[in-house]
Amino acid sequence: MELKLDGITKEFHGFTAVDQVSCRMRNGVYGLLGVNGAGKTTLMRMLCTLLKPTEGKITCDGQDIFEMDGEYRKRLGYLPQEFGFYPDFTVQDYLMYIASIKGLRQAVAKKRVMELLQRVGLAKVVHKKMKKLSGGMKRRVGIAQAMLNDPEILILDEPTAGLDPNERIRFRNLLSGLSQDRLVLLSTHIVSDVEYIANEIMLMGDGHIVRSGTPEKIMSSVPDRVWSCTVPRSKAQDWAKEYKVANMKTTSGGVELRILCEERPCPDAKQEEITLEDVFLYYFGEKGGDEDGLL
């Protein structure tokens, strides 16, 4: 199975949210990594046929997904950044309702719902109302609803937003287990979400795919090296203005900096192994702290 994007562009009233994006995806986990407002959600919505591209074409095994219509959506599972639910529905009622919308027969749906609740670790809350669930539990219900039709393509938009570290780890482990024999596309601005589970990473900024490849290939694309050194507290902000600083940690001896630059920034600087967070800083700089965006 192959999902192909060929020159995809999406404009809104003169603003270009996605600009000439082309790529091919097959089975495995793909991480779409970029700052808020980079165009990730717009791209996801086009892949789910919720928006039509202004230009370009998306095909699944050579067929236009918009011409395939319902046949394509049968192969698709989607977890949006915010998914709607009736707060007074129990977990089981909600999933049975979604199953009916997806056209599953009641007997099949009932069995599938219980299987998925077991898989996402929610079998004990099957009769609990949706409004009573924690944020992490709601996201796991979201995964379950996306998996009801056993999709070949699973698209997840910012699935760990707002989750605590434990829930985020649980969610990553769950996704890794679900990636067998299917294509999983995970959109996020949180580096750790894709660092350990993605077979391929696509860095997206200002509507473009800036760089794509395996995590190793992405990290090797950065010409800068990574250094650590300690500077006086009074000088830390001056260093932050002069260099790309990935991390600042106050210690008893001053401020420990993690710096990206080609040459050793000072005689006692120690070279470190590059990480995906360093790559994120290199390509997107301080944009990583921008306000939340829906594009």
CB atoms under 10 Å from CB of 15, counted, come to 9
Q: For the domain 3-212, what is the CATH superfamily, name and number?
A: P-loop containing nucleotide triphosphate hydrolases (3.40.50.300)
Tell me what percent of the residues of the chain surpass a pLDDT of 70.
Answer: 97
AA identity, residue 270: K
pLDDT for res 240: 92
Exposure string for 30-69, b = 16+ CB within 10 A, e = fewer = bbbbbbbbbbbbbbbbbbbbebebeebebbbeeeebeebe
Comparing CA positions, the residue from 28, 26, 21 lying closest to residue 46 is 21
pLDDT for res 183: 95
* Residue position matching structure tokens 């780890």: 169
pLDDT for res 293: 43
pLDDT in tens, 132-174: 998 888 988 998 999 999 999 999 998 887 778 887 888 888 8
Alpha carbon distance 51, 46 (integer Å): 5
CA dihedral 239, 219, 30, 95 (to 10 degrees): -40
Alpha carbon distance 284, 38 (integer Å): 10
Edge-to-edge strands of the sheet including 270-272? Answer: 244-251, 254-261, 225-231, 270-272
Domain spans in the chain, listed from the N-terminal domain onward: 3-212, 225-273
Edge-to-edge strands of the sheet including 208-213? Answer: 76-79, 153-157, 183-188, 28-33, 200-205, 208-213
Q: What's the pTM? A: 0.87
Report CA 282 to chain centroid distance, whole Å: 19
Specify which residues 205 forms β-bridges with: 208
pLDDT in tens, 19-63: 999 999 999 999 999 998 899 999 999 999 999 999 999 999 999
Specify which residues 154 forms β-bridges with: 77, 184
Concatenated DSSP letters for 176-228? Answer: HHHTTTSEEEEEES-HHHHHTT-SEEEEEETTEEEEEE-HHHHHHT--SEEEE
Residue 241 pLDDT level (bands cut at 50, 70, 90): very high
Helix (H, G, I), strand (E, B) or coil at 265: coil
Tell me what percent of the residues of the chain surpass a pLDDT of 90.
Answer: 77
pLDDT for res 231: 96
